[in-house]
Amino acid sequence: MKALICGIGGQDGAYLASLLLDKGYEVWGTSRDAQMTEFRNLKALQLDQRLKLCSMAPTDFRSVLSVLARSQPDEVYFLAGQSSVGLSFEQPVETLESITVGTLNMLEAIRFLGGKIKLYHASSSECFGDVGQHPANEGTPFHPRSPYAVAKASAHWMVANYREAYGLFACNGILFNHESPLRPARFVTRKIVDGAVRIAAGSNEKLVLGRLDIVRDWGFAPEYVDAMWRMLQLDKPCDLVIATGSSASLEDFVRMAFLNLGLNWSEHVVSDRQFFRPSDIDWSQGDPELARKVLGWEAKTRMPAVVELMVQDARSSSDLLPSNQHAAVP
């Protein structure tokens, strides 16, 4: 079996590559410029020499078609595109183009080549918006509240349309928040952990965040990529919510990070309105019951354990980023 992972350099791409290699796949991976990309996550997992890496611009149909023709994959995992919710408010056009046009190009290229390739598309829990403290499932209506969420919702429905109109094996994984030590520093969870570790080591900085009352369903990324793979092993394609089914506030996440270091978070953290988003989701939680029934999948690692793993990794790293006191929720 051959798989193509678009966006292999990210957190999910790296863990997915590791999973597929362990299953005996030949794995190809793309980034916008494979020759210049550092692929730090792949190197951290010692995978960079076991993959075939190539450049692909998702917004360029010819580029997408060329990579598909070259790699000839049985499965494509489309994880590419601008991935920061917070950044999408500053770069809405780039966000919409990279996600929507990129997804459309991949769907059209697969159709052009005969429609035999199985496609996993990374949809997002952000599509649901506020759900009024009711866990979201596959039938919950979308109400996106950011340019990122609008783009993901559009791409989600394009995948569903190509599945229905052209018979493609195309799935949407509606993943809720999932973290790991491979999270980039621009994500608030990594900023919290790195900041807490620096403070525990003697830094006198204050960690300045946006809203602390937002509630999310946090899981562990290596478990979530297993759900991606399982979706493409089904007899018929479908869209599934992937989540833990439990939620906690960002304040809880912060508290756990500092608690793991023997510190009282309230002495070191400040919430500043200038880092609030123009619009945000107050409460988000997924209902993974259908994924449990269809895939036999369920999350095993909850938020406290995820935070502990991230703190342990940060403490053992000698490459912590410089102090950044202005960490907004991305």
Q: Give the pLDDT score at 321.
A: 43
For residues 19-23, average pLDDT? 98
What is the spatial distance between Cα 165 and Cα 68, in angstroms, rounded to a whole number?
21
CB neighbour class for 262 (10 Å; exposed up to 12, middle 13-18, buried from 19): exposed
Q: What is the DSSP string of 158-205?
A: HHHHHHHHH---EEEEEE--EE-TT--TTSHHHHHHHHHHHHHTT---
Question: Average of pLDDT values for 179-196?
Answer: 94
Provide, rounded to the nearest whole percent, the portion of the chain with pLDDT above 70: 96
For the chain, give the percent of residues with pLDDT over 90: 85
Tell me, yes or no, if 120 is annotated catalytic: no
Quickly state the pLDDT bin for 43 (edges 50, 70, 90). very high
Q: Is the pLDDT of residue 219 over 70?
A: yes
- Tell me the per-residue pLDDT of 63-75, one tens digit each, with 9 for 90 and over: 999 999 999 999 9
List, in sequence order, every residue forming a beta bridge with 242; answer none if it has no partner. 175
272: three-class secondary structure by DSSP: coil
Q: Give the integer Cα–Cα distance in Å for 99 and 123.
A: 10
Catalytic: 75?
no
pLDDT(42) > 80: yes
Q: Which of 88-97, 249-258, 301-310 has the lowest mean pLDDT?
A: 88-97
**What per-residue confidence (pLDDT) applies to 280?**
85
Q: Please give the mean pLDDT across all residues of the chain.
A: 93
Domain ranges of the chain: 2-178+219-242
Mean pLDDT, residues 86-106 taken together? 93
Q: In what order do the strands lie in the sheet with 2-6?
A: 52-55, 26-31, 2-6, 75-78, 118-124, 170-175, 240-242
- pLDDT tens, 134-148? 999 999 999 999 999
Confidence of residue 314 (pLDDT cuts 50, 70, 90): very high
CA-to-CA distance for 255 and 303, rounded, in angstroms? Answer: 11
Q: Give the torsion through C-alpha atoms of 313, 314, 316, 317, to 10 deg.
A: 120
Retrieve residue 251's tokens: 């304040």
124 among known catalytic residues: yes
Cβ neighbors of 27 (< 8 A, separation 6 or more) are 2, 3, 5, 8, 17, 20, 21, 50, 51, 52
* pLDDT of residue 218 exceeding 80: yes
Of the listed 148, 223, 224, 251, which one is catalytic?
148
Q: What angle do CA 152, 241, 303 make, to 5 degrees?
A: 100
Marked catalytic residue, from 77, 123, 126, 224: 126
Give residue 286's pLDDT.
98
pLDDT at 59 over 80: yes
Per the model's pLDDT, the better-predicted residue between 316 and 323 turns out to be 316
CA-based nearest residue to 255, from 194, 329, 192: 192
| Rounded mean pLDDT, 157-175 | 98
Distances in whole angstroms, Cα of residue 86 to Cα of each of 128, 148, 167, 310: 16, 8, 35, 22
Quick one: pLDDT at residue 326? 38
Q: Active-site residue among 18, 63, 71, 124?
A: 124
CB of 19 closer than 8 Å to CB of 232: no
Q: What is the identity of the amino acid at 312? A: Q
Residue 202 is predicted with a pLDDT of 93
Q: Are 124 and 152 in contact (CB under 8 A)?
A: yes
Amino acid, single-letter form, for residue 309: L
What is the structure's pLDDT at 37? Answer: 85
Report the pLDDT value the prediction gives residue 319, as an integer from 0 to 100: 52
Domain 2-178+219-242 has CATH 3.40.50.720: yes
What's residue 148's pLDDT? 95
Q: Band the pLDDT of 122: cuts 50, 70, 90.
A: very high
Which residue has better confidence, 21 or 278? 21
Sign of the C-alpha dihedral, residues 95, 112, 55, 238? Answer: positive
- pTM of the predicted protein model: 0.93
